[in-house]
Amino acid sequence: MSGQQLRIDEYRIETEPYYLATGDELAVAEAAYADGSPLLLKGPTGCGKTRFMEYLAWYLKRPLVTVSCHDDLSTSDLVGRYLIRSGEAVWTDGPLTMAVRAGAICYLDEVVEARKDTTVVIHPLADDRRQLPIEKRGELLTAPNEFMLAVSYNPGYQSVLKDLKASTRQRFVALSFDYPEADMEAEIVCTEAGVDASLAKSLVKLAGMTRGLKDSGLPEGASTRLLIQTGKLIGRGISVKTACRAAISEALTDDKELLAAMDEMISSLF
């Protein structure tokens, strides 16, 4: 068990992550934590969902166990499995079990990517039972008060296949995230990437323009994360246009015409 304790400590966040609140999301999340309700974060990619979870974990002084979900994620990947070690079957906790035992925050990133039958395993954890049955061991774990479950997904993908089941989503307190207002976003880029305010403002403007290309074949525009990356590149001495092209336009699309159009935007702005 001490090994477990050591492992969970690695998930603690010691220094305060930078997070600029855009609304009352922190108050809602704190209240949900106090009530033992699970949290659902939705919003486009790179808008600060994961950063918010890090901040929340730091704020609540709980370790944060993050699982990036994918379509091959099985129940035992979450809960745990027996492994054979030197001729013996040894049980190993999965990240979810580990988080429940330690009273940590378990954050399932992009939960819609996981198979539907896998998501069902969180159901008893996500309602007032707050239990995790580990069938293979015949164990029923009850989550301590400190434990919190959080999931995130991106509703922008708009695929019938990739939607949360109603029975899953109705267990959560949902927080909707979006790209911050231009001023705030500029402040974030400014702080995170260490660029000057006017450059940050122009980068945000560029992001706004790419977000307007939805009807022209760009499903998602540049995220705040991309802007920060761009800013960092610029900070390392890459020229603004090259950085924008490398970190924004090329990252967003392969389409020649859209690339050309974004080049025009970049040359207009800088």
Residues that bind another protein (CB under 8 A): 74-76, 81-82, 84, 87, 89, 115, 136, 159-161, 205, 208-213, 215-218, 257-258, 260-262, 264-270
Quick check: 234 and 219 in contact, CB under 8 A? no
Q: Whole-number minimum distance, CB 253 to another protein, in Å? A: 10
For the CB of residue 4, give the shortest distance to another protein in the complex, in Å: 21
Give Cβ neighbours of residue 252 (< 8 Å, ≥ 6 apart). Answer: 210, 218, 220, 221, 222, 226, 258, 262
Order across the sheet with 39-42: list the strands.
64-68, 105-109, 148-153, 39-42, 173-176
C-beta closer to another protein: residue 20 or 246: 246
Nearest distance, CB of residue 7 and another protein, angstroms? 20
Burial of 48 by CB count in 10 Å (0-12 exposed, 13-18 middle, 19+ buried)? buried
Nearer residue to another protein within complex by CB, 26 or 258: 258
**Nearest distance from C-beta of residue 74 to another protein, angstroms:** 6
- Which contiguous run of DSSP H or E holds residue 205? helix 197-211
Nearer to another protein among residue 161 and residue 166 (C-beta): 161
Q: Which is nearer to another protein, 73 or 100 (CB)?
A: 73
93 vs 192, beta carbon nearer another protein: 93
Minimum distance of another protein from residue 82's CB (angstroms): 5
Which of 211, 160, 153 minimizes the C-alpha distance to 181? 211
Q: How far is the C-alpha of 50 from the C-alpha of 27, rounded, in Å?
A: 17
Per DSSP bridges, beta strands 139-142 and 131-134 are antiparallel
